[in-house]
Chain A
Amino acid sequence: MPGWVRPAALAVGVALVLLFPELVPNAYVLSAGVIVASYACTATAWSFMGGFTGYVSLGHAAFFGMGAYGTGILIRDLSLQPFLAWLLSGLIVLVITIPVGIAALRVRGASFVIVSISFVLILLLVSQAWEAFTGGANGLNVPRPFADLYRPDHHRIFFYLFVALLAVMLLTWWVIDRSRFGAGLKAVREDEDKAEALGVPTRDYKLAAYLISATFTALAGGMYALWFGDLDPIFQFSILLGAYMVLMALLGGVRHLFGPLVGAVVVGSALEYFKLEFGDTQLHLVFTAILLGIVVLFMPDGVIPAAGALLRRFGPQDTSIREITAEELLERNRAAAEREGAAAGRGGGKPSDGSGETP
């Protein structure tokens, strides 16, 4: 791929996103665009934890919901300026996440999964039961920050606000990805014991990634509250919302900067389409379930690497000189490994998962 393709593709992508509100035929599609943009934010926010460290959280809806309710309640009870309430709510979620994160990261892997799901379930319970505070099943009305705007203009502004939030997240992602902190997080994803033995303070790193991820998710939730204006525990603290984040991030590919974004566009558009075509049936659940199953079983690294592999296989003009040497190098090593494996009687001895460390 020539050097100019990447920046050019990026420029075209950015231009398309920025022009989107001008290109759409009606306010309905525009509002669907806002929803997809909010999905892109949540999926990217999710991948700060799920992507970098490999710790899969199914309960990120908890942070989304807290951010949304926090914003709404701060406006309602303290009459704060909406965007101040939004920022403050993100900060509150950050603070709440500290003890939750510590508990979640106590027992490797399993406890994280259990705490992440439990957290959203408990918040669902509490937000339904504590009617005086959250409005319970009656919902919570969040006043619009731009009360005098017509609906399409309102959608347009929030589309850009979500895109701006997304841009901040992507920039943060990019900085972390190439940093020492990021290298440590990726080492955790590969082999946590080993990372620790090399001096990476894995617990602190994981906690930091979790906090960043939770805060960004909360900001996306708060933004959603300001846009949508009506909150209901069942939708805000919904397991399904967390599942969408995971599905989008994984489908796009968590090792790639734009992976979660791509996943959000694909899955989000499909979900909006399903809503339009099939309305209230349970079909979207079946669709989500099957897609998630396929991603987990057949392309755990997402579509971007999968598509890349396809391109490399079918596009001969695509291979540059550098890539060929890298291929050759690997080939040579494989041959060497086989020779050596035969000599050592240990056929290519890949390291196992290492659970044989204890006697």
Chain B
Amino acid sequence: MDGTLLFQSLVLGVLLGGLYAILAAGLTLYFGVMRVVMIAHAAFVILAAYLAWWFHRETGLDPLFSMVLTVPLFFVIGVLIQRVLITRLRPATLTMMSVLLTFAIALLIEGLLGLFWSGTQRRVQLSYSGDNFEFFGARIAVVKLIAFGLAVLSLALLFLLMKKTRFGLALRATIQHREAAQLVGIRTDWVAGIGFGIGLATAAIGGTALSLDATIYPSLHWSWIGPLMAIIVVGGLGSIPGTAIAALVLGVGQSLLQVELGTTWAQTLFYVALFLTLMLRPQGFFGGRLAQRF
């Protein structure tokens, strides 16, 4: 492949990696605070994309504005899922049963999307949908850049929240050692609930970003959850910076492979990476000591 094409795929890979990063951040956050592998995360992403599409169709406004509604809505749903549903499960079987529960939620969302808006493929059409610009010889779609910008912005906010606020401190303490956090007076149940809310809010942002540039249909979430789970394992379960790095690396890798192998085979990269990580370094490659025991 020639230099321009290589550079083009590299840039596209970084943009894609950014989107992966914000989507996987939520997934790793749930695992961190609750040891829950939240299968419904990608389904919520697709739900947010549908809401953005619907919002655009009904109001004619830019789908980005739908976040004003979806982000708080998803936050509340996230808190409720944790506080009302997840806490009902027995601690001894939490990991396994929560998987089933969130799986059921994913199926429910998929089924309801199909019932409301049918299985037809949908796509947001915007005045700037087809716009491109040149970047050192690479052609970049404006919508991809907006999605990337959104991802970077929200990741930066998440990072600041984790590092600079009192809540972030409590959240990190809960992730690292729940019992110890309880002992110093942190209400870990509420921290976990809010952590869930934040995770789901990132799904709303990611879904909106996705809606700008993707054709959506109800069962699309299955092709997202696999790569996202691979990313959080490679990044070290529960580690947000690790997840971000893994997302970028795998996003670029996928983008480069796509040129040679086509989209489908390029996707297998995630599963190969997942398999290799578990075989060689089950605690993940970029941080995260947590996984060792879980």
Contacts and interface: CB of A to CB of B under 8 A. Distances in A.
Chain A–chain B contact at Cβ < 8 A: yes
A294 to B, nearest CB: 9
B230 A118 contact: yes
A286 B111 contact: yes
A125 B268 contact: yes
B267 interface: yes
Interface stretch (B151-159, B203-211, B218-226): B218-226
Interface string A63-83: 000000000000000000000
Interface residues of B, number: 60
A103 B90 contact: no
A127 to B, nearest CB: 10
Interface in A107-131: 107-111, 113-115, 117-119, 121-122, 125-126, 128-129
Interface stretch (B63-71, B72-80, B137-145, B274-282): B274-282
B124 to A, nearest CB: 22
Given A58-B103, A121-B223, A282-B115, A109 B291 contact: no
B88 A297 contact: yes
Contacts of B114: 281-282, 285
Given A125-B267, A286-B111, A300-B97, A108 B293 contact: yes
A129 B265 CA distance: 7
B272 to A, nearest CB: 9
B104 interface: yes
Nearest to A288: B107
B100 interface: yes
B59 interface: no
A113 B111 contact: no
B264 interface: yes
A309 to B, nearest CB: 17
B97 to A, nearest CB: 5
Contacts of B31: 110
A296 interface: yes
Contacts of B99: 56, 58, 113
Interface of B is mostly: helix
Nearest to B31: A110
Given A114-B233, A297-B85, A353 B91 contact: yes
Contact of A121 (B88, B107, B226, B291): B226
Interface string B96-108: 1101110111111
B274 A118 contact: yes
B213 interface: no
A352 interface: yes
A113 to B, nearest CB: 5
Contacts of A282: 110-115, 119, 218
A117 B112 CA distance: 22
Contact of B37 (A55, A113, A125): A113
B212 interface: no
Given A129-B264, A292-B107, A355-B178, A106 B85 contact: no
A355 B37 contact: no
A18 interface: no
B190 interface: no
Contacts of B233: 107, 111, 114
B109 to A, nearest CB: 8
A355 B95 CA distance: 13
A296 B265 CA distance: 36
Size band of the interface chain A makes with B = 35 or more
A119 B278 CA distance: 13
A44 B222 CA distance: 25
A296 B36 CA distance: 15
Nearest to B183: A356
A103 B275 contact: yes
Nearest to A114: B229
B264 A125 contact: yes
B111 A285 contact: yes
A113 B101 CA distance: 13
A281 B96 contact: no
Contact of B115 (A114, A118, A129, A283): A283
A345 B225 CA distance: 47
B278 A103 contact: yes
B172 interface: no
B115 A281 contact: yes
A239 interface: yes
A135 interface: no
Q: Which of A102, A296, A352 has the most CB of B within 10 A?
A: A296
A122 B96 contact: no
Contacts of A121: 222-223, 225-226, 271
Contacts of B131: none
B174 to A, nearest CB: 12
Given A54-B96, A102-B279, A118-B274, A107 B107 contact: no
A252 to B, nearest CB: 15
A289 interface: yes
Q: Which of B103, B178, B267 has the most CB of A within 10 A?
A: B103
B71 to A, nearest CB: 25
A30 interface: no
B264 A56 contact: no
Interface in B241-291: 262, 264-265, 267-268, 270-271, 274-275, 278-279, 282-283, 291
21 contacts: A54-B93, A56-B96, A104-B278, A107-B278, A107-B283, A107-B292, A107-B294, A110-B95, A111-B278, A111-B291, A114-B229, A118-B274, A122-B271, A250-B100, A281-B114, A282-B113, A282-B218, A285-B107, A285-B110, A289-B104, A289-B105
Smallest CB-CB A-B distances: 3 pairs: A282-B114, A285-B111, A289-B107
Given A54-B93, A282-B112, A282-B218, 13 more contacts: A58-B39, A103-B278, A107-B278, A107-B292, A109-B95, A110-B31, A129-B262, A246-B100, A281-B115, A282-B110, A282-B111, A290-B108, A297-B101
